[in-house]
Amino acid sequence: MDLHLLLLTLGGLLLVGLLTDEVGRRTRLPRVTLLIIFGVAAGPSGFDWLPKAFQSWYEFLASAALTMVAFLLGGKLSFAMLRSNGKAIFSVSLSVVILTAFLVGVGLIAIGTPVVLALLLAGIATATAPAATQDVVRQARASGPFTDTLLGVVAVDDAWGLVVFSVLLVIAKSIVGDGASAIVWHGLMELGGALAIGAAVGLPAAYLTGRLRPGEPIQAEALGLVFLCAGLAIWLEVSFLLAGMVAGAIVVNLAKHHNRPFHEIEHIEWPFMIFFFVLAGASLHLESLYGIGLIGAVYIVLRTVARLVGGWLGGMAADIPPLHRRWIGVALVPQAGVALGMALVAVTHLPELGETVLAVTIGSTVAFELVGPVLTQLALRKTGEGD
């Protein structure tokens, strides 16, 4: 890739990010949705403006951006916040994940979908989009108990989703007669490995970071934490999302002398997010929406209903305010990269279902990524916590 083309692309995308920020303020549209729409227009489904070599950066930028998001979300899980909102967070997250898997699985089987395929899609449906949710909250400058609960749920529900997906994948493999012990071991290793990496990065960081003078060294510490955590997780093939969240939670609870790494990551996160969302949009193929058929349409409807009902039931069990119960599920509709990751794992184990699994996952991701952030922003506004 020519150097001038690389610099022109980077500079142009950063300026597009500024433009979407301004348009978002004037129209109240989430800048996430605007960036994804631009990415679709600039990618192969649109005018194909982005250099092919630049699109190969997607994996690096996605890993860096999502680990930053995970670290910041983990920073929301302080003991003080969990004492006040922990019951709501765990009740809503468990309710939403379990009901999503159950309703999507049973509903797909009811319309004649093969059981194994229905189980895989039910597990994939539990995933959310932490990056989109975090950015909508920041753009709306939202704060309050509803926002705290939402960010807490987003931080932990992908962990529950990973467990549910692993269990359903084991059941699916057992039905087709393949051995399931390797999947069980892989699931345990992924969870345990992510916890171990998060602790290995977070424990020393809680003591060592923030002891240098403010300024560039602090930014270097923040980026060092993110890249080290993401690199170790990818190297050992465990979830960098969970690892980053654990590291952030450890730092916020043990580093009593400061909270600067979180502020520094917030300061440097947005350029990475611009590239991430634009490339995410460029990787979406609108024609996937035409190929998902009845299974995909039912999947989208059932997952959306499960989010709404699951949020309401979980909120009722935790005795959160009625207004919050009505809107917490709406705010949890976005779904993105985590679901695609689950789909790729499913295809690895059951390649004969790969075409259908990927078509439904990619097609539904297009819909949820474009509409989901708008619904999250609406929920924040309706609860009186967002602009």
Tokens found for residue 231? 């690199």
Q: Which residue has the tokens 């269990």?
A: 167
Mean of pLDDT values over 107-120:
92
Q: What pLDDT is stored for residue 108 in this prediction?
A: 94
Q: Is the pLDDT of residue 216 over 60?
A: no
CB 62 within 8 A of CB 122: no
Q: What pLDDT is stored for residue 64 in this prediction?
A: 85
CA 35 to chain centre: 16
Question: In the chain, which residue ranges form alpha helices assigned H by DSSP?
Answer: 3-27, 31-42, 52-55, 58-74, 79-110, 115-124, 130-139, 145-175, 181-208, 216-235, 240-254, 260-283, 288-291, 293-317, 322-331, 337-349, 354-382
Q: Is the pLDDT of residue 343 over 90?
A: no
* Cα–Cα nearest to 24, from 130, 131, 138, 129: 138
Q: Binning pLDDT at 50, 70 and 90, where does residue 357 land?
A: confident
Q: Is the pLDDT of residue 157 over 60?
A: yes
Q: Comparing 147-151, 275-279, 334-338, 375-379, which segment has the lowest mean pLDDT?
A: 334-338
**Yes or no: is domain 3-382 CATH 1.20.1530.20?**
yes
The structure's pTM equals 0.79
Angle, alpha carbons 241-308-304 (nearest 5°)? 70
Q: Which residue has the tokens 């998902």?
A: 292
d(CA 294, CA 352): 19
Tokens found for residue 180? 């399931």
Q: Comparing 170-179, 330-339, 366-375, which segment has the lowest mean pLDDT?
A: 170-179
* Cα–Cα nearest to 130, from 301, 327, 332: 332
Q: What pLDDT is stored for residue 74 in this prediction?
A: 83
| 53-102 residue pLDDT tens | 777 777 788 788 888 888 888 887 888 878 878 889 999 999 999 999 99
**Would you kindly state where each structural domain of the chain is located, as residue ranges?**
3-382
